[in-house]
Structure 1
């Protein structure tokens, strides 16, 4: 066992290269309208539906809703796609989201605007290393975040989102389960603090959320003492400690709409502001700071891979049929089991 603990202590997630954004020409308003009309036509012709994450470009979010698709978090995107009668799902997000959609709808064609759009959490948890680590703790229940590959999901007992991680881990801990958590160490630490569960944490992180700086956040709040601070739990502990609301993307959007504060400081990808402005018009939205001691500004509150989704790349994939997500039926069947456990738990939770 000590060898495995030493392995984890010595493990350094692979270096992640931040991709350059595809250089698409700027669109005139006329070009944008024409492109949206063409995309809408192609979606109809291919019996397709567009699902977009809250962190994608506002134009993609708006188009998804205008064409009968949805804007949501990663799991709701996949669930919406599985329940929709469309034959083709077009997933505007990052690769693990396309894979999750394919896992839940293996018979459907799943396309993505850019297959190079990945996720630092996914990249930080390669299946070979993670499987070896899990094998060393056979008595532990393996709980993985949705931001993981299909292979990692298939190796897990439970898949969770940030919105349901707390009640699931609390439930498992109450049953006496010890837990392996992967891949986000900040979210895992938050869940551990809140539930008191016995957890071993994989050392991954999100390059967007780990950039938020607590001292700079304190300074910003002093400038806006009336503001509420909304923080995604993938953020560092010192940032979470200052939050008025800690929660998933969906929870933060709901908080923006329901809190009485006219000013909100938000610690997550700033593209979430598009949905927040729709549901909380007139409120002042401020980005939580990513500058200060230790800052590298790898993201500046914007996921670079989410930024690879654009109207141009969306149109291209619909015209060519390229960028299809492939997950074998066998792998999808294994990965679906822990996802289904979460979905069943969520239904029971709602029923009570």
Structure 2
């Protein structure tokens, strides 16, 4: 195996001395959903499908959600995808109601792009450490202090933060957009994920001022533990999401978005893969490449007891049970003030247009 050894750019990433990381984030415990018997699950899924038909609804699920939700989304004519494709799908479906199984910024993005549609989520409490760690007021002050920079924000942010940006990016399109801006001589103000920002800066050489934020899941992957696991599995390819720390990214054979990592499992010749991203992705990987062995990258630190617990507790708030409840009650709908929405839609549409013009995106399915 040849780890990625891309040398740092001659430009140095600029870490801001000013912006705080944001308020302290309380990470919730993973919800404990009752285990359903096969007959109970089948009955609940049939009930959900009936409710979806009644509400003229379509289900959109992220790769990090529970496999039952991903299967239901696909079987009912919805979508399982990364955040770029989730955003695109909502604008293309004729459904009157979008049910977004993921975290809140994904539901907000759907509503920003589709104000005429009702957007429901199984839990509005399903937020994101990156979103919570980048409050709109503090971020706006950061932008005001650097008016000469193009403001590029990761999709994992609130509608109010997106409304303050020039561009919104996802992990699958961040590199092409920053390369484009760098080629035009632009300096970048980036938020909120410092690890993804540093990776993008290193590859592109762009002048980037980074907000100090991180994903609680990806930041837990440990470089020294990954080295040990690589020795145990010398024939395995290492797949890493760029929200991970440098010492993990630098050992990767493939660095990419969720869709790009799934495609790597399908397309690469290796039969074993060490995967450094949320474990929810394994459902789709196993579906598309059932004969390959998937190994969770270790998250253990000194004194830790968990070797492979990489699963977002907010993503885990999505389940068949509360999906049924939200359809029965019709609540948990996303609301965004119109003045924020009309400003936030512009940088999102700019990203989608950039993707269309360059043919970026698409399904992780092997037949696309």
Among candidates 156, 161, 166, match of residue 165 of structure 2: 156
| Native 8 Å contact 2:157 2:192 kept in 1 | yes
How far residue 163 of structure 1 moved from its aligned partner, in angstroms, is 0.7
| Native 8 Å contact 1:101 1:110 kept in 2 | yes
Corresponding residue for 2:18?
7
| Native 8 Å contact 1:213 1:295 kept in 2 | no
Partner deviation per Cα, 1:198-227 (whole Å, 9 max, x = no partner): 000000000000000111101111111100
| Native 8 Å contact 1:96 1:118 kept in 2 | yes
Equivalent residues, number: 346
Higher relative contact order (CA 8 A, sep 6+): 2
Q: 1:56 & 1:183 partners in 2: Cα distance?
A: 22
Corresponding residue for 1:111?
120
Corresponding residue for 1:183?
192
Partner deviation per Cα, 1:177-209 (whole Å, 9 max, x = no partner): 000000000000000000000000000000000
What does residue range 11-30 of structure 1 map to in structure 2 within 5 Å? 11-30=20-39
Q: 2:132 & 2:35 partners in 1: Cα distance?
A: 31
Q: 1:244 & 1:191 partners in 2: Cα distance?
A: 16
Q: 2:312 & 2:182 partners in 1: Cα distance?
A: 33
Q: 2:306 & 2:349 partners in 1: Cα distance?
A: 37
Q: 1:276 & 1:5 partners in 2: Cα distance?
A: 37
| Native 8 Å contact 1:211 1:299 kept in 2 | no
Q: 2:298 & 2:38 partners in 1: Cα distance?
A: 32
- 149-158 or 78-87: bigger deviation: 78-87
What does residue range 1-352 of structure 1 map to in structure 2 within 5 Å? 6-8=17-19, 11-293=20-302, 300-350=309-359
| Native 8 Å contact 1:121 1:183 kept in 2 | yes
Q: Which structure dedicates a bigger proportion of its chain to helix? A: 1
So what's the TM-score if we normalise by structure 2? 0.91
- 160-169 or 22-31: bigger deviation: 22-31
Q: 2:303 & 2:23 partners in 1: Cα distance?
A: 20
What residue ranges of structure 2 are gaps of 5+ in the alignment?
1-14, 361-368
